[in-house]
Amino acid sequence: MNYHHAYHAGNHADVLKHLVVLAVLDALARKPAPYFVLDTHAGQGRYALASEKAGKTGEARAGILRLVRHDFTRLSQDLRRYLDAVRPHLSQDHYPGSPQLIADALRDSDRLACCELQPEPFGLLKGLLAGDHRVGIHHRDGYDAMKALLPPPEKRGLVLIDPPYEAQLAEFDLALAALRAALARWPQGIFALWYPIKQRRSLQPFLRRAATLPAKSAFVVELNVRPDDSPLRMNGSGLLILNPPWKLDQSLATTMPALSAALDEGGGGWRLEWIKREQG
C-alpha cells in the first residue's frame, strides 16, 4: 500500500467530501438523540500544509486555499459551516481530515469510530484523538469494521467510506459488497461512499449497481474541476449518499454552483442526480 493522504489533503475532493459530511452531521444533530459515525478509511486525522508531501503536489493550493480566498457574493449555509470548521485548523497551517472534522462536530453523547490500516497514519491519529472519550480508533480493515460495528446501539448515524482506490475498479466491488451487507444489518443508516472521477463514463457500471443497493433512496453529488476527458488525472470526485437526510439534496443544490465556480480550473461542473427514490 503506497497511498499517503498527506499528498492530497485539502484538495478539491477533500473539500467536497468534508462539506457534505458536515451537512449530514448537522442534519443528524437536528434531533437530540445521539448519533454514531463510522469513518472506515480515516487517515491520520490532520495534515500539515507546509509539509514536504503537501508541497510536492500543491493540491491544497488549488482546493481549500483557493476556496478561502474566493470572493463569494453570498455564502450558502453548508459552505459557511464548512469554512467555519476548517478555518481554526488553517490558522495553524493544518488541514483537518475527516476524523478531526467529525470529532469537532460531535456533541457530548455522539460517538465516532475510526479505522486505519497503515501503522503510520494510525499512530498519528491515535496521538491526535485518543484523549477524546467519544472517539474510538481501530487499527483494522474498515470494511471488516462495517460488519463488526454495525448496527450501532444509537440506531442513527453515518458511515463514511473513503478508500484510496489503489485497487482501481476492484475497490468499487469491495465497497458495493460492503454496503450491501451493511444495509442488511442497518437499513436506516446513512452511508456516504467517496469516489474519484477521471472519465465519468467509466463510472456507469458502478452507478448502475449502486442503484440496485437495498437502500430506501440514493443520490450522487459530483464536482469536476476540469473536463472529465482524461483517464490520467483525477478531474473531479463524487459521493454516493444512501438514505440521505431530508432536504440534503436541496441544500447541496444551493451550494454546488458557488463551490464549482470557486474551484473550477476550466471546463468543470457539478451534478446532483437521484439514482433511487423512496417509493410513495
Ligand X SMILES: C[S@@+](CC[C@H](N)C(=O)[O-])C[C@H]1O[C@@H](n2cnc3c(N)ncnc32)[C@H](O)[C@@H]1O
Q: Which stretches of the chain bind ligand X, using CB under 6 A?
A: 3, 5, 14, 17, 41-43, 97-98, 115-118, 121, 141-143, 162-164
Whole-number Å distance between alpha carbons of 215 and 180: 9
CB-based closest residue to ligand X: 97
Packing angle between helix 98-105 and helix 12-28, nearest 10 degrees?
20
State which residue, 14 or 228, has the beta carbon closest to ligand X: 14
Question: Catalytic residue at 110?
Answer: no
Angle at alpha carbon of residue 265, lines to 244 and 228, rounded to 5° = 60
The least distance separating ligand X from the CB of residue 137, rounded to whole angstroms, comes to 11
The least distance separating ligand X from the CB of residue 278, rounded to whole angstroms, comes to 28
State which residue, 106 or 115, has the beta carbon closest to ligand X: 115
* 118 neighbors 1 (Cβ within 8 angstroms): yes
Whole-number Å distance between alpha carbons of 115 and 61: 28
Q: Which of 190, 182, 38, 191 is nearest to 111 (CA)?
A: 38
State which residue, 3 or 72, has the beta carbon closest to ligand X: 3
* Contacts of 275 by beta carbon, 8 Å cutoff, 6+ apart: 207, 210, 211, 218, 219, 220, 240
Exactly one of 14, 39, 78, 162 is catalytic; which is it?
162
168's grid cell: 482501481
State which residue, 115 or 182, has the beta carbon closest to ligand X: 115
The catalytic residue positions are 162
